[in-house]
Structure formats: structure tokens, C-alpha cells
Structure 1
């Protein structure tokens, strides 16, 4: 999909990494009456957990985003998805006729406001599926039980550390068909999850070849995706990752949007059987070989190191005055550089690279 086409329905007022209920309120309230906005619960701090429902078809699809409050890319993509289907077209008409879709854009509004993974009680909602100790967990499960979806989409962000397989390609989008038991057995619902992922991957390969990964499928019944898969409901984990020079994840939101739209087309057209479990297994599993910055020959500046030593730096995301800043942090001073990749690689032998380190506040970390 060309950017010029995508820009026609990208929700331009919903941008950046810091998204709260207020960030999306203007857009969702502007949707026409075919999109019903409801409040399915309240957070620990009494913020509303909103849900948008549209369509009148028999196929029921439930999506939720920002279960982790600091994972907002999929929320942006969900807004673009809503906007696309709000516009008159043959595709949107087919969706309304065949599907009923519920989207919970921000399940964890307290965590979103604080820009934290956890909720206000410092609980990871994606480890609360069984105990249901938090009001946000109860809201999602109550919605699930009442709606009885045929498909569930669990929408997340992942860190910049992930690469695809053993390649130097970032895992810009990753998927998982969650397991439903320790043995990671197969079932009709898990098969369907895998086949739908394979279909989305086929489309994404045309846009970001080699940049789609498969997430680890270790079983944890306390994770919501695994829990819902245990009910024989096909459930898919979406992970929005890094694209080159896109720390705001404005590019990645497009690829998540493409995946969402593709999945609806596959479901409506009954094309899931066009894809196989093997197609899913052929997607390389994610590695963890990326640093945000690799500094080569770091000993030229950091006298505690040998001249040719390399350093690995990761950025910490810091909320300040409603903006997200990326603060460099040294996490590896004995890096075997050939075993890792950098989203940016600098060499202390090069004057322009040392200037870049200085301008980005990294040089001071090395002295």
C-alpha cells in the first residue's frame, strides 16, 4: 500500500508514542452513528474503558490495545482501521455486512496516562487472566464472555531488541498463535490462528520483506491470549516493532493497519484454508540481537576499555510533559559486535560519529 493511499485514512491527529483516552477522544466521538461507543468498565483510577462496536454481520471479532499502557502503536493502527471502515467503499460495506467488530482501544487507561506497562496497582494485566484481580481484567473478560467472539486480536508493542531469525532485519511486525497447554498442542482454533497469521504475513512480505517475525509460544495460562485460546477461540498476538529510524512508530502503525485489514478480508472471503500451519511455522522466530546503538572502537573514548571494544546502548523511554524522550543507557560494555546488530552503528575512529555521540548526549556516558 502506497503512503499516498494510506494517508487518505490515517488519523493524523492521533500521533506519537504517548496516547491516552484524551488523545483519541476527539476522533472516536467524530465517528458516525454506525459506530457505537460504550464504557465496558472503569480503571483502578476510575477512568473509563471505552469500546467501539461496528458492523451487523455474524462474524464477531474482538480487539484490544494498550493492555500495557506504554504500547500505543497498535492503538494508532486501530484508529486508522476504524477510519478506513468509516469511509464508503465496497470493502467497508462487506465488512459491515459480514462482521461485528468490537475494539477496546485503551484497556489500561491509567498505565497509558503514566506511560507504564502496568496498571495503577502495578499489576501486569497480561499476567492476570486467571486471577482477575484488576478491574481492567474483569472488564475485558466480561466483554469477551458477553460478546462470544469468533476471533480475538491481542494488540501490543515490542522492544527494539528483536530481529527476525538470525538476520539483521528488525522484527517490525511479529505474530503469535498462543498455546493453550504446556505441550503446545494443536487444535482447530490454534490452527485457525496460525493460518490467519500466515495470510497476513504473505501480504506484509510485499511491503516489509524479511521483517516479520514469530513470537515465542511458551505457554502461560495467566496471559490473556493463552487464556482465550484455552476456550477454543482463535486468538492472535500482534506485536508492533521497530522500523528503521521510526522511533515514533508512525511507519509501523501502517504495517499493523495493513495486517488488520488483510485479516478481515481473509475472514470475510473464507480464505483461511488457503494458508497452512507450515506457512506459519516458516515465519522465523524472533531473535534478540539488536541494540539501538552499537559503538565500535569505544576504547578511544572510554579509557576503561580496550581500543577495539564495542558498547551496546539501548534507549529508555521517558515521559516528560506529555512527550516521550529516548534516553541512552549503556547495557553492554563487553560486546562482541559481530554477534549483534545496531539500529545505528557508530565508530569512534570517525570524527562525524564522535560528533553524533556528543550531540546525542552519549559521549558523557563513556567518560
Structure 2
């Protein structure tokens, strides 16, 4: 189904290396509040997340829906396909300061840790411009729910009051819903936005992309077409929820 709808692409901020961080607003270009905030590529070595959201943006820009059209005037949505363009360009988990952006949020369990590893939390909480951008967007637009897209575990994880929306996505994709990713994540975005701020936060963990290194302990790699087929309806279900 196709309809005409309004959208607005803009540069929200810049990365450490001055690459633009782009977002696409669906509905009003400057809404008072967002219904949904969707973010990909926290980690630059998880390119499949940005590829999925780039395809989703293109479908929405074309007014193409798997089900009934979404009224974005009632459900304003901001999609950021790539939060970490420097890491994406370098193929690294971290940003250009060698910080793991999913360990950099000001949470009670944050501490400077894991220096010289891919999980370095930074010199201070919210030390990174990419982190501060997301925090500023939350302050400005007060999103009712947030989806972040990662890889490679092929599950739906949630923080805060988000079990119901995670279940709705699971019904559409078949991905398992898990309450924990299985290891500690101090300074994580889910803790900051979901557990502390009590915003429903769902983490969509995709399977590894075909360009990611093989790991026998992970789910089998899938192509973008496979990931899209499994998750297109789930992405729409998230916005509609």
C-alpha cells in the first residue's frame, strides 16, 4: 500500500570526525513530542542495523507500508539510521575516540572502565558528542518509546516498561524476547533511558550480517533481504504500538 506522506531529512549533529549524523522526521518537521525514536549503528561494526533502517526509511519515504498506512501526524517519528558514522567508516565498534557509545551514558553503574578495549566507557559519562546528541533529543522531544537496532544475537531485549511493545514486535518477526542480553552493560543506553527515565526501550538485535566475521557461537549470518523480510512488519508494529 502506498500513500503520500510528509518527511524531513536533516543533519542533527556531527561526529567526533565531523561526519554528519542524519535523521529523518516523519510527520511534522519539528514536533512538540515524538511518538517513536529509532536509532541504528551505535556500534560501527554492526552495519546491518544501519542498512535495515536505511531501507525502512526509503520505504516510508515512498509511502509504502506492509499494512495500513501510518498517520505520522498523530505518531511523529524520528529515525537515525547511523548514530556512529566514524565507527561505521572504520569498521570498529567504538567511535573515533575509541569509546563504546553503549557504555557512555550517565547511569549509576557508569565508571571509566575497559580502557584499550572495544568496551571502553570513556573518560566521563556523556563524554561523546554522539551520546550528548541522543540525550538532547530525548530532552527536546520526550519520545514515548525508543527502538535501538544492534546485532548479532537475533533477539528482542527490552528495558523499562517495554515488554508489551517487545512482544508485539516478536509476534511480527518471530524473534525471542529476552529480559537480559546475558552480560553486564554498565553505562548502557537501555539503563539510562529505559530503567532510569522509564521510557519504553526495545533493543532489536539482528543476526550477524554477511560481512561480519564468522562466529560459531552466534546465529548464522543473514543477508539484508532476509533481515528485512523478518523485520519489516516488526518495525511498523513498533511505530503503531
Shorter-chain TM-score tier: 0.7 to 0.9
Q: Given the alignment of the two structures, is residue 222 of structure 1 paired with residue 191 of structure 2, yes or no?
A: no
Q: Which residue of 1 aligns with 2:156?
A: 175
* Contact preservation (8 Å) 1:174, 1:215: no
Q: Which has the higher helix share?
A: 1
| Structure 2 residue matching 1:98: 3-state secondary structure | coil
Where has structure 1 moved over 3 Å in runs of 4 or more? 56-59, 87-94, 217-221, 242-250
Unaligned 5+ residue runs, structure 1?
10-31, 163-172, 179-189, 206-210, 268-367
Structure ranking higher on relative contact order (CA contacts 8 Å, 6+ apart): 2
- 1:69 & 1:223 partners in 2: Cα distance? 16
- 2:57 & 2:234 partners in 1: Cα distance? 14
* Contact preservation (8 Å) 1:77, 1:254: no
* Contact preservation (8 Å) 1:86, 1:92: no
| Structure 2 residue matching 1:195: 3-state secondary structure | helix
Encode CA deviations 1:164-204: one digit per residue, 9 max, x unaligned.
xxxxxxxxx311112xxxxxxxxxxx33x101111121222
- 1:33 & 1:175 partners in 2: Cα distance? 29
Q: Given the alignment of the two structures, is residue 201 of structure 1 paired with residue 170 of structure 2, yes or no?
A: yes
Provide TM-score, normalisation by structure 1: 0.51
Q: Given the alignment of the two structures, is residue 144 of structure 1 paired with residue 138 of structure 2, yes or no?
A: yes
Unaligned 5+ residue runs, structure 2?
107-124, 210-218
Q: Given the alignment of the two structures, is residue 39 of structure 1 paired with residue 11 of structure 2, yes or no?
A: yes
CA 1:122–1:255: 2 relative to 1, 3 Å: same
* Contact preservation (8 Å) 1:37, 1:51: yes
* Contact preservation (8 Å) 1:240, 1:253: no
Q: Counterparts in 2 of 1:208-247, with a 5 A limit?
A: 212=176, 214=178, 216=180, 220=185, 222-229=187-194, 230-242=196-208, 246-247=221-222
Partner residue of 2:22 out of 31, 47, 50: 50
Provide TM-score, normalisation by structure 2: 0.75
- 2:11 & 2:68 partners in 1: Cα distance? 25
- 2:202 & 2:220 partners in 1: Cα distance? 27
- 1:83 & 1:34 partners in 2: Cα distance? 13
Q: Which residue of 2 aligns with 1:115?
A: 91
Partner residue of 1:250 out of 225, 236, 240: 225
CA drift at 1:97: 3.4
- 1:33 & 1:94 partners in 2: Cα distance? 9
CA drift at 1:84: 2.8
* Contact preservation (8 Å) 2:173, 2:231: no
- 2:177 & 2:64 partners in 1: Cα distance? 32
Encode CA deviations 1:98-148: one digit per residue, 9 max, x unaligned.
211011111111000001100111100000011111111111111121111
Partner residue of 2:75 out of 65, 83, 99: 99
| Structure 2 residue matching 1:36: 3-state secondary structure | strand
